[in-house]
Structure 1
């Protein structure tokens, strides 16, 4: 609900909690005015129902293979069209042979954090700003033209959110990972001389009437760094230090979203791929480069898209929508920060963190992008789960949270989390709010489930943040869950709210 004041108040009626958690966003119109403390300093969280509600439900894979059942598209008149897809957490698409071992929450969490650490390490290495020129070129190639989440994820299993699309003519349904830090639509292809396991049959280009290879002289091939030419066709190859790689041909293909058809999309057709990117057939790159799906839609959608990441453990789906119609009225808009060295990534101007309604004493410069080196800054990333901050910011933030939770019994560290609590036997607990402060006066206050998460079935909860070990900050998907996030690349803004999912 919108309140007629400088502050917009949006109620998050979370399906797994009996209480209403509130997300507070300062309206951009009030950017010139000092931020006011009109939001509550504490929230109440139901411990037992949070544990029960975030148990991951593992349905049969066959229940999610019905493409028409789970996909729908809206065509909107005017200058462009909207394409809308359902969005699933990867735990819903785990192959049957992996289900039993992943039913235990703690083991599942440790596996997810292992994947997450690999993903974050990859981003930190790419975006550190202090690499040699050749290393920086390789990192840009990996991120922009192939998709680091796809390839690094092959070995590490990263990538948390999937969409279901039709590939080829006639369309074959495929699960694809969404990644805001990657710039290509990439899929495993037959003949598959070396491929990882996926839920759907591997795509066979010979069965598609719309598939055709890109010639070496094509302008599309020119946009791929280090492209090779074999028998007149454009080939790509990317390898990584962890031993994972993808090799294949660049092609044009048709993608289908329900009844809507998008023709002539440049995709990577991988014939040799190494790793364990479980479940997904490939990746739908949503980065800021020209070869991403958003970039290729271009004039059809105005470079705009919006997504809602489904909350952990629910059997519902989130959404991913492309087009100007996806831009909500009433969102709080934060300017995008451009990093010329890494244009695929969406940087935002975070200037501070808050705990319990009090801004933590961290210099704004800690979050600032270095325009010379391209290092530092704050990246919004759907492929990273846990948010990370430089050590100076994280330590101050964690200590502020600890100072306001002395009433809660502590637990030992779990994996990458160093701030945990033993809430066994509690019905509800009172926890301080966590807020992100942006330039212009906007403040995003998170629901409790987006920063204090259960790590087992025994009542252990941890603060879902960790130090980055570098100058880079990453806003991960746990902190983004349940909040409508919109990217207006053409005009240079990211919006939060007002809808929830």
Structure 2
């Protein structure tokens, strides 16, 4: 989970660890903080794995429900769940994905978190839950929901009927509720059909969990309740998953649960599951502009080692490593002006004069290499260790901070525009630089089964995972599957953060990205400005080679607009959807359907007329006497050919 603010370090972590131990919950864990010396510093914490009370080992084995793992003899090429990521790491503090739970399905926006295990969403009877993006989960409305009955393997509610879970975090936020099981679907682009899975149904949440916009957490860490462990235990996916976060100011990205082919040039490092309960890497050195920092490799191997956590926003180095990195960086960019950070509560290290073009930052800021024990290098671009200053144009701040804890914690900022593969089966993690916003296309998404399909053991493959959507401004008995939609228009009120006219080219690109269409399909139709608010009308056209949208594309665009899933960068401010219209494909006239043939014929006829007229004029001019010459009537000037 992102944006976890921290207070004190070791003493509070110990207290929370004792609380969970006293509950005797072998399923669940508390959380441990890694904090900079500034107690107000933006956070980062990881869940603290607790072994079952009977265990005396310091090491924590990856263990599915029945203790089995996929063997080498298991069938290769299992399907995977390919899912899109939404939001922006710095604007929102996290990335979310869409998960559907229940029959009929109920949709949730969940924070992607490799540092957590339990997946949980607010429950309908929650006594204290905040106002989130989507409605709460309604167990009574799902025909496939089943509570996890109380047993010796879990804590029980007051009635002794249902298993419960509890999560407490060092910044005093918490989540608690009951455990249930239901059908979970991973979206229309997933090859993996819906599966039954255990998840938490919140009855109480506090702190940041209460105030955040996202509905809950999707736990990808190691643990019996992790989504990964449950799916691997069912032998429906390989024991691997991948994350790819969008770049600076772009957001979005992709996630794959299951194995994908490793791209050529992917850099791997060993990840020891017994080294710590977290996803760790074997970091040996850090190079700035090709020169290694004068540090002992042991500095990156203290306590939990070097840990990756997708729910952490920034990166945190032990003090010795941080000071060496900061000094080496400042030495390389001494010509830039130091400025105060955007928030006076934090002593951020910021520089101005680099310009607003992110693509040019590598010409000013040095490349940073993470060197692993095996000698391979993971190269970082400036966007991987900087964040944009929100108050000074062309200024950037260091997104790596000093950690009072000896653990090296690498958050999401370091892996922007980087495909990270967590190959748990082979105990390694890979890194590959790419455009994560376009990763979905690069993965060559196949035509996946509808998420409405239930597992084969249900013998029922007709349940709708997504309710049919009626296009706006069309008859209530007309559905996208029965018409050909030729145009989608919508009006939006945009409240941008300053008095400047918004960059419509950039805004068009963001809208195309969020609606998952080509930029050429998005057209600005009208724009009126009133103060800091703009009323903008947009039109979404079918692809160039099509006269109408496919059913899937039309429904996707309509749902994203109606349910306000479109996320714009913070610099554009907030937006409000005013009107959404869907128009069916208009029946074209005969000449419109044969426009090319008509145009070609007209062109031939025009050439023939011009040649004939020219020859007549030439002949007529020659046979006239010089003194009797009279100009012919006005000649139509030659017109420039326009594209059809």
Alignment TM class, shorter chain as reference: 0.5 to 0.7
- 1:465-476 equivalences under 5 Å are 465-476=400-411
What does residue 180 of structure 2 align with? 251
Residue 494 (str. 1) matches residue 429 (str. 2): yes
Q: Which residue of 2 aligns with 1:478?
A: 413
> TM-score, normalization: structure 2?
0.52
Structure 1 residue 250 displacement after superposition: 0.8
The corresponding residue for 2:324 is 396
1:224-243 maps to which residues of 2 (within 5 A)?
A: 224=154, 226=155, 228=157, 230-240=159-169, 242-243=171-172
Say which of 93, 117, 134 aligns to 2:18: 134
CA offset digits 1:278-312 (Å, max 9, x no partner): 22221110001121111111122222101111224
Distance 1:483 1:403, change over 3 A: same
Question: Equivalent residue for 1:204?
Answer: 138
Structure 1 residues 140 and 359, CA gap change in structure 2 (3 angstroms): farther
Distance 1:143 1:438 in 2: 33
Q: Which has the higher contact order (CA 8 A, sep 6+)?
A: 1
Counterpart of 2:383 (choices 423, 434, 449) is: 449
1:263 paired residue number = 195
What is the 5 A alignment of 1:2-17?
none
Equivalent residues of 2:286, 2:292 under 8 A apart: yes
Report the CA distance shift for 1:250/1:229 in structure 2 as closer, same or farther (over 3 A). Answer: farther
The aligned counterpart of 1:359 is 292
Residues 441 and 127 of structure 1: CA distance in aligned 2, closer, same or farther (over 3 Å):
farther
1:105 corresponding residue in structure 2: none
- 2:273 corresponds to: 338
For residues 288 and 216 of structure 1, what CA distance do their matches in structure 2 show? 23
Moved more, 251-260 or 262-271: 251-260
Aligned to 1:74: none
Q: Within 2, Cα distance between the matches of 1:262 and 1:439?
A: 40
Change (3 A) 1:131 1:245: closer
Aligned partners of 1:188 and 1:271 also within 8 Å: yes
Q: Deviations over 1:384-414 (max 9, x none)?
A: 1111000001001111111111122222355
Is residue 228–residue 236 contact of structure 1 (8 Å, CA) maintained in 2? no
Q: Which protein has the bigger strand share?
A: 1
Partner of 1:175, secondary structure, is: strand
Alignment of 1:35-434 (within 5 A): 115=3, 117-118=5-6, 125=10, 134=18, 137=21, 144-145=28-29, 160-217=94-151, 222=153, 224=154, 226=155, 228=157, 230-240=159-169, 242-259=171-188, 260-275=192-207, 276-298=210-232, 299-314=235-250, 317-325=252-260, 327-328=262-263, 330-339=265-274, 342-343=276-277, 345-369=278-302, 375-413=303-341, 415=343, 416=346, 418-423=348-353, 430-434=364-368
Aligned partner of residue 260 in structure 2, secondary structure: helix
> CA-atom RMSD, angstroms?
3.4
Maintained 8 Å contact 2:28/2:165: no
Segments of structure 2 that go 5 or more residues without pairing to the other structure are 33-44, 49-90, 437-644
Structure 1 portions without partners, runs of 5+: 1-89, 91-111, 370-374
Structure showing greater Rg: 2
